[in-house]
Structure 1
Amino acid sequence: MEKETLIDVALKAELCALYQAGDRHYHNLAHIEAMLALAEEYRDLLDDPGAIEAAIWFHDAIYDSRAKDNEAKSADLAEKKLAGRVDPHRLARIAAMINATATHQLPPLRDEGALNDAALLLDMDLAILGAGPAVFDAYEKAVRLEYGWVEEPMWHAGRSAVLKSFLARPHIFHTTEFRDRFEAQARENLSHSLQALQDQP
Structure 2
Amino acid sequence: MRLALDPWQAAWQALGARPADALHAELLGRYGETHRAYHTQQHLAECLSLFDGVRHLVGRPAEVEIALWFHDAIYDVHRHDNEARSADWARQALLGAKAPAEVAARVAALVMATRHSVAPATADEGLLVDVDLAVLGATPARFAEYEAQIRAEYAHVPAQVFAEKRGAILAGFLARPAIYACGPLRHRFEAAARRNLSAALATCRP
Question: TM > 0.5 between the two?
Answer: yes
Match of 1:75 in 2: 87
Match of 1:167 in 2: 174
Match of 1:24 in 2: 36
Greater mean deviation of Cα atoms: 128-137 or 36-45: 36-45
Alpha-carbon offset, residue 104 of structure 1 = 5.1
Taking only the aligned residue pairs, the percentage that are identical comes to 42
Match of 2:110 among 85, 97, 105: 97
Write the distance in 2 (CA, Å) between the matches of 1:54 and 1:150. 32
- Give runs of ≥4 in structure 1 deviating > 6 Å: none
The aligned length equals 192
- For structure 2, the residue ranges without an aligned partner over 5 or more in a row are 1-6, 13-17
- For structure 1, the residue ranges without an aligned partner over 5 or more in a row are 109-114
Which letter does structure 2 place at the counterpart of 1:31?
H
Alpha-carbon offset, residue 141 of structure 1 = 0.1
Q: What TM-score, normalized by structure 1, do the two folds share?
A: 0.91
Write the distance in 2 (CA, Å) between the matches of 1:191 and 1:171. 14
Match of 1:189 among 176, 185, 196: 196
Alpha-carbon offset, residue 107 of structure 1 = 4.1
Taking a change above 3 Å as real, the CA distance of residues 117 and 89 of structure 1, as seen in their structure-2 partners, is same
Write the distance in 2 (CA, Å) between the matches of 1:104 and 1:11. 28
Alpha-carbon offset, residue 38 of structure 1 = 1.2
Match of 1:5 in 2: 11
Match of 2:72 in 1: 60
Q: Is the 8 A contact 1:106 1:118 kept in 2?
A: no
Q: What TM-score, normalized by structure 2, do the two folds share?
A: 0.89
Show CA shifts across 1:6-64 (max 9, x none). 27552111100111000110001111111111111112112111101110000000000
What is the alpha-carbon root mean square deviation over aligned residues? 1.6
Write the distance in 2 (CA, Å) between the matches of 1:48 and 1:186. 27
Match of 2:149 in 1: 142
Show CA shifts across 1:86-119 (max 9, x none). 11111111101111111253344xxxxxx11111
